[in-house]
C-alpha cells in the first residue's frame, strides 16, 4: 500500500506559526512599517528583502526570522494598510451614506498607497489578515443591516468599482509624480496630442474638446473627485434596486 501523502501547508503568513524572533530591536511590525514606506516611495519593483534589511540596519537573515518570503511581507503590508480604512458603525447613517463613506476611505487609502490596488489579487491569502477581516465584517454588517438578500454580492460590487477606479487613478498619479510636473501642467501638455489622436472619431473629438475647456478652468483633483462620485452614485443606484420592497429606505 502506498504511503499516505500529507497535505502541504497553505503558503501564507496567516496559516503558519510565527518563527522565533531574532534580534530584539527588530520586530515584524517595524519590518512591515518600513516596507510600506518603501512601497509608497518607490513601488513594488523596488522592494526586496535585501534592500529592506539594509534600511533597517539588519541582515536579511534577521528579516527571514520574522517574515519568510517577500510574498508574506506583501500580505502583511496589505493587511496593515487595511487597518487605515474606516466603515461607519451600524446605525450611524442610512446604508447609502455609510457605503459612500466606506468607498471614499478605501479610495483615499488606495491613493495614499498607490501600490495597494494593483496587488490585491496577487497578495496570496491577504484576505485572512485581521484588519482585512475586520473591514470585510464591518461592510457585511452594513449591508446585512440594510436588508440586502445577498450581502457578499453587494460588497463585491461596491469594492470592484472602488478598486477599479482607484487602480486607474493611482497609476495616473504615479505618472504625474514621475513627470516632475503638476497634474494640471501634465494634462495641458498631453491634451493637444489627445485631441489630435481623436480627430476623425466624432464622439471622442467632441469629448476631448469639452475636456480641454474643462481642464483650463478646473482643478484636476476636483475633477477626479467628481468622476468618482458620479460612478459611485450609479453603483449605489443599482444596488438599491436589489433591496426587497420591505427593506427600510435610505433617508
Instruction: Report the CATH number at residue 27.
Output: 1.10.10.60
* Same domain as 223, residue 103: yes
Provide the b/e sequence for 125-150 (b: ≥16 CB within 10 Å): bbbebebbeebbebbbbbbeebebee
Range of the domain at 66: 13-82
Q: Do 161 and 231 fall into the same domain? A: yes
Domain boundary among 47, 82, 117: 82
Domain annotation covers residue 105: yes
Residues 6+ apart with CB under 8 A from 234: none
The reply to whether 208 falls in a domain is no
Q: What is the pLDDT of residue 23?
A: 47
The reported pLDDT for the residue numbered 59 is 83
User: Does residue 251 lie in a domain region?
Assistant: no
pLDDT digits 0-9 by tens, 83-124: 999 898 877 779 999 999 999 999 999 999 999 987 886 655
Give yes or no: residues 50 and 103 share one domain.
no
Segments of the chain scoring below 50 in pLDDT:
1, 21-23, 251
At 6 the pLDDT is: 61
Same domain, 72 and 111: no
The alpha carbon of residue 119 and the mean position of all alpha carbons in its chain are separated, in whole angstroms, by: 8
In a domain, 195, yes or no: no
| The last residue of a domain, from among 61, 82, 103 | 82
Which pLDDT does position 22 carry in this prediction?
Answer: 46
Kindly state whether residues 56 and 160 are assigned to the same domain: no
134-145 tens-digit pLDDT: 999 999 999 999
Say how many domains are in the chain.
2
pTM across the whole model: 0.81
Which pLDDT does position 163 carry in this prediction? 92
Helix then strand then coil, % of the chain, to nearest 5: 65, 0, 35
Q: Establish if 143 belongs to a structural domain.
A: yes
Helix (H, G, I), strand (E, B) or coil at 15: helix
The DSSP letter of residue 136 is H
Q: Are residues 49 and 123 in the same domain?
A: no
DSSP state of 9: P
Indicate if 138 and 162 belong to the same structural domain. Answer: yes
Amino acid at each position: 500500500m502506498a504511503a499516505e501523502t500529507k497535505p502541504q501547508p497553505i503558503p501564507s503568513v496567516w496559516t503558519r506559526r510565527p518563527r522565533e524572533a531574532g534580534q530584539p530591536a527588530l520586530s515584524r511590525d517595524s519590518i512591515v512599517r518600513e516596507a510600506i514606506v518603501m512601497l509608497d516611495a518607490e513601488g513594488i519593483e523596488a522592494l526586496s528583502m535585501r534592500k529592506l534589511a539594509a534600511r533597517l540596519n539588519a541582515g536579511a537573515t534577521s528579516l527571514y526570522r520574522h517574515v519568510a518570503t517577500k510574498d508574506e511581507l506583501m500580505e502583511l503590508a496589505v493587511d496593515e494598510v487595511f487597518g487605515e480604512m474606516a466603515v461607519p458603525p451600524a446605525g450611524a447613517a442610512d446604508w447609502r451614506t455609510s457605503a459612500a463613506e466606506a468607498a471614499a476611505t478605501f479610495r483615499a487609502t488606495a491613493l495614499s498607497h498607490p501600490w495597494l490596488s494593483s496587488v490585491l489579487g496577487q497578495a496570496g491569502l491577504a484576505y485572512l489578515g485581521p484588519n482585512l477581516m475586520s473591514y470585510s465584517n464591518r461592510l457585511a454588517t452594513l449591508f446585512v443591516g440594510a436588508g440586502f438578500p445577498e450581502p457578499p454580492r453587494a460588497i463585491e460590487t461596491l469594492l470592484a468599482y472602488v478598486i477599479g477606479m482607484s487602480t486607474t487613478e493611482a497609476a495616473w498619479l504615479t505618472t504625474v509624480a514621475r513627470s516632475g510636473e503638476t497634474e494640471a501642467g501634465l494634462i495641458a501638455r498631453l491634451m493637444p496630442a489627445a485631441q489630435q489622436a481623436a480627430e476623425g472619431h466624432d464622439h471622442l473629438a467632441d469629448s476631448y474638446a469639452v475636456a480641454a475647456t474643462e481642464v483650463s478652468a478646473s482643478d484636476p483633483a476636483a475633477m477626479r473627485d467628481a468622476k468618482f462620485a458620479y460612478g459611485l452614485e450609479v453603483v449605489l443606484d443599482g444596488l438599491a434596486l436589489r433591496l426587497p420592497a420591505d427593506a427600510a429606505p435610505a433617508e
